[in-house]
Structures are given as C-alpha cells and as structure tokens.
Amino acid sequence: YKRLQLPEPETIGFRYPHQVSGGQLQRAMTAMAMACRPDLIVFDEPTTALDVTTQVEVLASIRSIVEDFNTAAIYVTHDLAVVAQMADRIMVLRHGQTVEEAGTRQMLAAPTQEYTRTLWAVRKLAKPEIEARDHLLIIDNVTAAYAGRVKVLVDVSIKVPRGRTVALVGESGSGKSTLARVVTGLLPAISGSISFDAQPLPLSLKQRSKDLLRRIQMIYQSPDSALNPRQTVEDIIARPLEFYLGLKGEQRDRRIGELMHMIEMDESFLDRLPGELSGGQKQRICIARALAANPELIICDEVTSALDQVVQEEILKLLIRLQSELGVSYIFITHDIATVRAIADEVVVMHQGKVVEHGSKTEILTSPQVAYT
C-alpha cells in the first residue's frame, strides 16, 4: 500500500470498495496482483474510467512498483497518452493481427504503417469555435446534496448556448455527473434555479411534463449498461418514439429508418441485440435513442471514454454533424482534453462541487486563469 502511495496504508485494507475512490481501487487491485511477486502482470485498461489527474497518479504508481519488483508488464490500452507514459515498446493490433511493433519513441515519432498513422492523427480533430447565441439552459446558484449529506454541488452557475457545446471537465468527484443528474431532474437541487428556453425548469423529475422530459435527453458512458440486452435495436429506438411522440405503425418505422440513416448505420442492424454490436455501434444506437425524442439538449456523460481512438473520432464527428444539422445543444462531460478540443465551444472546469473557471475553449486551453485548470 505504501509503495502504491495509498492513503492511510495501515487501515485502508479494512475499507469496502465503495468507501474508496476509483483511483484508489485501481491501486489496491495492483497491490493484489503484486502480492504474489509475479514475473508478468497484464494490465487491461486499468485507467479508462479515471480522470486525467487521477490517471497520472495511478500510472506513476504502477510504473514505479513494476520497476521496483523487476516485473514484466503487458499494458492493454486505447489511450495514446497512457502509451507514451507507460510503454517501453508498442505493439499495434488490428483484427487480431500485429500491424506494427517498435520502441515507444520511434513509434510515436515515425510510425511506418497507415493504420498506426491514423491512430496518431485522430487526436488532432478540432472543432472551430462559433460565437454563442441566446442561452437555452441557465443554471443559477444551484446547490445539491445526496440524502441530506455533505453538499456535492455548491452555488453552481452555468449557461448553455442554443446549438452549442459546453464541456464539463474536472477530476472524479468534482460534481460533473451530479450536475447532469440535477439538470435531468434525477437529483433535485436543494437551492438555486434552472431555466430552460426562458421558462423555469422544475427541479424534480416528477414535476416535469412529458414534453419537458422529451426536450432534455442523456447519453451514458457505458452502452452495455444503458441498453437492454434483451431488446432488439428496433425496440430500443422505437420506445421513445412511442412514449414521447405517439408514433406507431408506418410512421414509427419510417422514423426509425431516418434515425438509422442519421447515425450512419444500415437498417439490417435493427433485428440485432446489443450483444451482437461493437462498442461504437452500441454508442450510435444510444445516440439514435436520444435523438428519437427530438430533444433540444443532450447531456453526453463520458460517451467516448470506453472507445478506441478511431471509433472515438467517428462518434465525435457524428455528434458534431448532428449538432450542425439539428441545432441541438450538448453538455459534454469528459476528462479528455483532446475530446474537449474536438467538440467544445465553451469549457466549464469543476473542482470539489464548484465551478472554478468558465470560458471559451481557446481561453481555457491556451491561457487558463486558475492553477487547478
């Protein structure tokens, strides 16, 4: 525990998993793996769900203990930043075959294969900034807490322009996903106000009309958890069409076909179950389900974090195109700066339940005013 820089190493082993953070859990699992002094250890995406600052801490701890114990390590990842920090050599795989293998410095500087160059290039996607219009969503001094406990959001104020993307960034536990729950009404705020399209938005989900529920949709981080494994793609997309819009029969089927075209998937996928789809295809279906309600605001909660670099770029390009065509606004929760650069117009930085900085993408990425940012 000490070698992995876990807090209170004498007592942390007595805690249950839900009593420690995600980064601490990953270091505890590393301790379990290292306890028997293995010759080889395989790390399978251990930092995918962690924010940037926590990821750096966990990777530094893992690298240190692997070197101290002289253990060989295979590190499976789709994150190039992780590759640069951890690897001595890189092997690129595609369709079960080795595409390229070389030392890390050589591979990052001069890959020889087209597929590898494609992986490296996707991090350069950047959306041009567009001047803000009127504001669709205004969050004013919102405070929230779980079950009357310590406040997890404190006097949060954010404005989301119509047809634009506001990225929420910050480490795990900073309040990003909690704010998403407040906006959707899943967690009613205990003080403050929210207006939507210049009208007061009831803080509780139960007080909102069906039309208000329709106008704000959410896409979750894990499509495996968000999609019913027993429903076909057609059933999944049809449900909001029937519930919100009352579409049935030919009207419903025609709209399903239009939505499949919008997410660039063939209608032959409609009979498939989620388990028969790739990660990127599942996330596209989640996007189609959200779009089926004809929303004005979509909250995207880490929707690309579990996808490889190429699929990430495809999903981001899809979301940017849909925004251009439909005029929908996004609140985009992420801990990946490359994703912020790719999709955001404005950036909100959160820390310990508070907004510490809010500005245009260029301002935040090039000249942040706060040390935490």
Average pLDDT, the chain: 89
Q: With cut-offs at 50, 70 and 90, classify the pLDDT of residue 179.
A: very high
Which residue has 């690298």 as its token pair?
63
Q: With cut-offs at 50, 70 and 90, classify the pLDDT of residue 129.
A: low
What is the pTM for the complete model shown?
A: 0.81
Q: What's 2-124's CATH class?
A: alpha beta
More confident residue, 169 or 336: 169
- Equal fold, 2-124 vs 135-366: yes
**Are 34 and 64 contacting, i.e. CB atoms less than 8 angstroms apart?**
no
What's the confidence (pLDDT) of residue 355? 95
CB-based contacts of 363, cutoff 8 Å, min separation 6: none
Give residue-wise pLDDT tens across range 89-115.
999 998 889 999 999 999 888 889 988
DSSP assigned state of 21:
-
Would the pLDDT of 238 be above 70?
Answer: yes
Q: With cut-offs at 50, 70 and 90, classify the pLDDT of residue 252.
A: very high
Read off φ and ψ for residue 92, nearest 5 degrees.
Answer: -100, 125
Three-class DSSP category at 8: coil
Helix axes 309-326, 114-121, angle to 10 degrees: 50
Residue 55 tokens, joined: 């990821």
Residue 322 tokens, joined: 């849909």
Partnered with residue 332 across adjacent β-strands are: 167, 300
Radius of gyration of the chain from its Cα atoms, rounded to whole angstroms: 22
Residue (of 155, 213, 210) closest to 184 by Cα position? 213
| Rounded Cα gap, residues 130 and 124, in angstroms | 19
Give residue-wise pLDDT tens across range 46-67.
876 676 777 777 888 888 888 9
Element spanning 338, H or E: helix 337-343
CB-based contacts of 159, cutoff 8 Å, min separation 6: 135, 137, 138, 139
Three-class DSSP category at 187: coil
| Rounded Cα gap, residues 156 and 144, in angstroms | 9
Residue type, 125: L
**Strands 191-196, 165-169: pairing kind:** unpaired
What long-range pairs does 267-274 form, CB within 8 A, spacing at least 24? 269/233, 270/232, 270/233, 270/234, 270/237, 271/232, 271/233, 271/234, 272/232, 272/233, 273/229, 273/230, 273/231, 273/232, 273/233, 274/223, 274/224, 274/227, 274/228, 274/229, 274/231, 274/233, 274/236
| Rounded Cα gap, residues 271 and 277, in angstroms | 11
> Which sequence spans correspond to the domains of the chain?
2-124, 135-366
Would the pLDDT of 131 be above 80?
Answer: no
Partnered with residue 348 across adjacent β-strands are: 168, 358
Helix axes 279-291, 309-326, angle to 10 degrees: 20
| N-terminal to C-terminal alpha carbon distance within the chain | 29
Residue 76 tokens, joined: 């499976």
What's the confidence (pLDDT) of residue 125? 67
Report the CATH fold assignment for 135-366.
Answer: Rossmann fold (3.40.50)
